[in-house]
Amino acid sequence: MQITKNMKIKHLTIFLLTLITLPICGQYYNRSSYAANKSVRLYSARYNSSLDSMDGFVKNTGVVLIKKNMDLNSSTYQFEMPDNLVSTLDKSLNNWGYIFSSNIETNNLQKTIKNYEEEIDKQKRIIENNQEDLNRLRMDTSDPKPGSGNRVYSENNYITTIRNAENRIEDIKKSIDETKKLGNTIYVTVEIYDDVATPDGRKQKVSWVNMPGVSYSFLQVENPKLGISHEQYAGFNLKYMFTRGKSYIEIGVLKPLSILTSIEQQDPTLSNTKNDFFLIQFGQDFYSRHFGRGKRKFLNLYSGYTIGVMLPNQYNDIKQKSVPVGSLSIGVELLKTKHVLLDTRAAYFLPINDENRNTRGLLYNASLNFVF
C-alpha cells in the first residue's frame, strides 16, 4: 500500500487546521463588518425618562435594535443605524443626561474584504490538496483490502476536511456580502446609568493616584470655655491623596493661636485647657453633578466628609483618652491639573465626647497636593 504513515499525519494535520480556522466572520452582527463602531456611556438623573426617550429614538428613526439589557440602575442598547443619524443621536443623548464617554472607531472595510478573499484562496488550496490526496487514495490498487477500516477512515477524513473548507468559503462569501451591504451603517452601543442610584457616576475599578501634599487648618470653636478649650486653633497637616475619588488621609496638629501665659498655666482651673489636638483622619470628596463633575481646571465644587481620631493634650499634661471625630464639608477646587491640585473647604468639626459642646466648631482648610 502506498499510503504511508507520513501521509496519514499530513491529512490529519490539515483536518485539524481546518477545524481551528472555522468561521469567525460569518456570524450576524460581526462588528468589523460595519463602517464604524460607536459606544456611549450616559448618566441621567431622570433615568426612567431617558429610557423612554431612547425607546422613542429607536422606534421613530427605524434603527435596527439588536440587543437590549435592563436592570434597576442601568440599561444597555445595541443597534445598527445609518451613519447620517450620528449627529441626531448625539444631540438627543446630550438632552437626556451627562455623557461620560463617547467613542467611535472606523473600520477599513476594503481591507476586511481583501482579508476575506485571501481566506477564500486559502480554503480553495486546502480543497485542492485534499482532493488530490483523496483521488490518489481511491486510485491506489496495491491495498489488498480496499474496504479496510484504515482506508475508510482516511477517506472520511479527506471528505470531512473538504466539506469544512467548502462551508467556510460559503460563510466568508456571506460575510463579504454583509460587509458591502453595511458600508454606510454603524454599530452603536449606548449604556445608560441612573445617576441618582450611582453617586460616583459609574461602575468601575478604583483609580489609584499618588498625590502627597500639605494643608493648613483653622478651627473656630463655637462655644469656647475656660478650662476646656481656646477660641481658635490652627496648624499644618500632611495630606496624602490616593484615589481620584478623592480619598485621602490627613495627619496634623491644631494648636491655640493665643496660648496661656506661664502664670495662667499654674491656675488649676485653666491648666485643664486643651493646648493641642493631634488628628488622624480619613476623608472622601464627591463632585457635584451639576457644576462640572470635577472635569474643569478651575472652580470645581465638591462636598465630602472626614472621620478619624483626635488625641487631645492639655497644659497640665494629664493623660487624655482618644476621641472619635467627624466632619461634613463643602469645598472648591481652585486649580486642578494633571499634576497639581489646590483646593479649599469649610467643614463643621465635631468631636464625639462629653466635651464636644466646647470643642466643636467651624474648620477652614486649604491644601496643595501634587503628583509624586
Give the pairing of strands 185-194 and 36-44: parallel
Mean pLDDT for 302-308 is: 95
CATH number of 208-370: 2.40.160.20
Q: How far is CA 181 from CA 67, 130, 144, 177, 188, in A?
A: 20, 34, 55, 6, 17
- Residue 119: name the closest of 37, 17, 13 by CA: 17
When pLDDT is cut at 50, 70 and 90, the band that residue 332 belongs to is very high
Is the pLDDT reported for residue 319 higher than 70? yes
Is the pLDDT reported for residue 118 higher than 60? yes
Is the pLDDT reported for residue 292 higher than 80? no
Task: List, for residues 227-253, the tens digit of each pLDDT value.
Answer: 999 999 999 999 999 987 789 999 999
Task: List, for residues 17-58, the tens digit of each pLDDT value.
Answer: 444 444 443 344 577 778 889 999 998 878 899 999 999 999
CB of 35 closer than 8 Å to CB of 185: yes
Q: How far is CA 259 from CA 230, 233, 264, 317, in A?
A: 8, 10, 9, 15
Task: List, for residues 343-359, the tens digit of each pLDDT value.
Answer: 999 999 999 999 999 99
CB of 134 closer than 8 Å to CB of 128: no
Q: What pLDDT is recorded for position 72?
A: 81
**Average pLDDT of the chain, as a whole number:** 85
Mean pLDDT for 199-223 is: 78
Is the pLDDT reported for residue 338 higher than 80? yes
Following DSSP, what letter does each residue of 68-133 receive, concatenated? EEE-SSEEEEEEEEEGGGHHHHHHHHHHHSEEEEEEEEE--HHHHHHHHHHHHHHHHHHHHHHHHH
Mean pLDDT for 114-131 is: 89
pTM of the model: 0.56
Q: What pLDDT is recorded for position 230?
A: 95
Parts of the chain belonging to CATH 2.40.160.20: 208-370
Here the cell at position 187 is 454599530
When pLDDT is cut at 50, 70 and 90, the band that residue 174 belongs to is confident
* More confident call, 181 vs 158: 158
d(CA 366, CA 368): 7
Q: What pLDDT is recorded for position 222?
A: 95
Supply the DSSP symbol for 269. T
Q: How many other β-carbons are positioned within 10 Å of the β-carbon of residue 291?
A: 13
d(CA 204, CA 140): 65
